[in-house]
Amino acid sequence: MMETSDLSSLLGLLCPMFVLVDEQGQITSVGPTLQKLRPEQPMQGQGFLDLFELVRPRSITTTAALLSLAGAKLHLKLRDEPRTALKGLVAPLPGNKGAIINLSFGISILDAVRDYALTSADFSGTDLAIELLYLVEAKSAAMEASRSLNLRLQGAMLAAEEQAFTDMLTGLKNRRAMDVLLGHMASGNAPFALMHLDLDFFKSVNDRLGHAAGDFVLQQAARIMEEETRSDDMVARVGGDEFVIIIKGLIDQKVLCSIAGRLIDRLREPTIFESETCKVSASVGIALSTQFSTLKAAEILKAADQALYDAKRSGRSRYSFFSPTAGSITDPPSLQGSPQPRPGISGQ
């Protein structure tokens, strides 16, 4: 008769999820793949019925009854967690020397992959489990490729949306983004202020030094406006040299005066482009959401534009608040700083 070690080696090749038990039901050898289900718990030397619970047939509770089931199919579960379900086939050895229990077709392929990371290398080359594993692996690869593609598509969509709402010259939000946020703010209950800012004497920079200088001035102005506002506020370029700032949750006129004053002071500071001095200033019109009983986006934009017009008419380089009853209110120059002359640059 074949030696036990030789039999175990042969079974390991043909059905690597085998269990070899003696006549007392003690495990004398176990297939390498089956042992992977409990890598820290050697099965050899333990009782088969101590490791495995028979689900069907339920009447089998002894080793003798188990060994009598020649050719019978068993439904089993491991007794400890995870309680993987298995199916087995009993093949008694000659001379009542025990039995071979083949579990090769018994494990769920999903359990094999999820709980034990088994691969095709863990099964016999003729085992149907290999075909199922190939399908599972192919499905996993396809799902991973699909997830990767979806992530790339989502990233591309986000990038496209961001680009659609961004002014490419300054990096600020554009008119479309401003319209979306302003519509949302106008329909909500949270108070906010809207500043309409226009660069004074900007056309003179373009005419004297060219559009490259004008672009540089716009970029510097955008940087200043972002530095003087909070991250939750929106700064948008809505025209050539026109900007809108939406300041969320703030309607305190004293604070708004301070913000507008800092913007005007910093924007009137000369900038240097290719050794040439560029001088502009800024006029600001301010409207508050609380000035309207029924707020519409177009109304507050119009109000801020009217206040901006009054600031320009009053001498530029200043700010003005919209007043629903008395027209716009422009603070005196003593509160803002007097408009600065622009030597060598004509006004607009």
Beta bridge partners of 246: 194, 234
Give the Cα separation of 272 and 276 in Å (integer). Answer: 5
Active site residue 111: no
Q: Do the Cβ atoms of 286 and 256 come closer than 8 Å? A: yes
Which position among 127, 167, 198, 241 bears the catalytic label? Answer: 241
**What phi, psi does 226 have (nearest 5°)?**
-70, -35
- The residues near 119 (Cβ < 8 Å, ≥ 6 apart) are 133, 137
Element (H, E) at 18: strand 18-21
Element (H, E) at 67: helix 63-67
**What phi, psi does 253 have (nearest 5°)?**
-65, -35
In sign, the C-alpha dihedral spanning 252, 325, 319, 183 is: positive
Q: Kindly state the DSSP code that residue 47 receives in the 8-state scheme.
A: B
**Sheet with 18-21, edge to edge strand ranges:** 27-30, 18-21, 99-102, 85-92, 73-78, 52-56
Angle at the Cα of 23 from the Cα atoms of 76 and 30, rounded to 5 degrees: 55
Catalytic residues: 241
